[in-house]
Copies of this chain bind each other. A is one copy, B any other.
Amino acid sequence: MADGTSRLAWADVAAQLRGRHLRLTPQRRAVVAALAEFEGHVTAAQIVERCLEEDADFVPSTVYRTLHLLEDLGLITHIHDADGREEFQPAAEAPHAHLICRECGTTREIGADELGDFLGLLHRRHGFDVDLSHLAIFGRCVGCTRG
């Protein structure tokens, strides 16, 4: 996607599941819906909470299983946030990294194009292929530096 905002496409989820003889259950719908709602980086806990609002019978293990399934299907990815918790995001068609402010916790996306030759440099120099969607860059954001 050009604008950096990635959405989890229903069609993709359905297609992937059917293609592998996996099932589209209400619980999975709910998790996907929750992911779509947040439109960005979500903690597993946030998904659990959202799903519980919808249906009190929801259970965390199902959420985790679903999230890991979606990840296996290549539909979402996860990074670990500043506190070490899993934070999921739709697998963007245009992969992007995250700038995470250690002071206010704000997360901001930046695309590969904003990294300059960073990726190429690491590849040439170390033969290292960066997994951009798992790249969490910690530091201080503008606001906190000025404030």
Which residues on A are within 8 Å of B, measured CB to CB?
80, 82, 84-86, 99, 101-102, 108, 110, 114-118, 121-122, 125-131, 134-142, 145-146
Tell me if A121 and B114 are in contact (CB < 8 A): yes
CB proximity of A56 to chain B, nearest CB, Å: 28
Which of B99, B118, B127 lies in contact with A128, CB distance below 8 A? B99
Instruction: Please state the number of chain copies in the assembly.
Output: 2
Per DSSP, chain A at the interface is: mixed
A139 with B145, Cβ < 8 A, contacts A80-B80, A80-B84, A118-B118 known: no
**A19 to B117, alpha carbons, bound, how many Å?**
44
CA gap between A56 and B128 in the complex, in Å: 41
Min Cβ gap A37→B in Å is: 24
Q: Which residues of B contact A86 (CB under 8 A)?
A: 84
**A131 neighbours in B (Cβ, 8 Å):** 102, 138-140
Residue of B nearest to A121 (CB): B116
Contact B126 A108 (CB under 8 A): yes
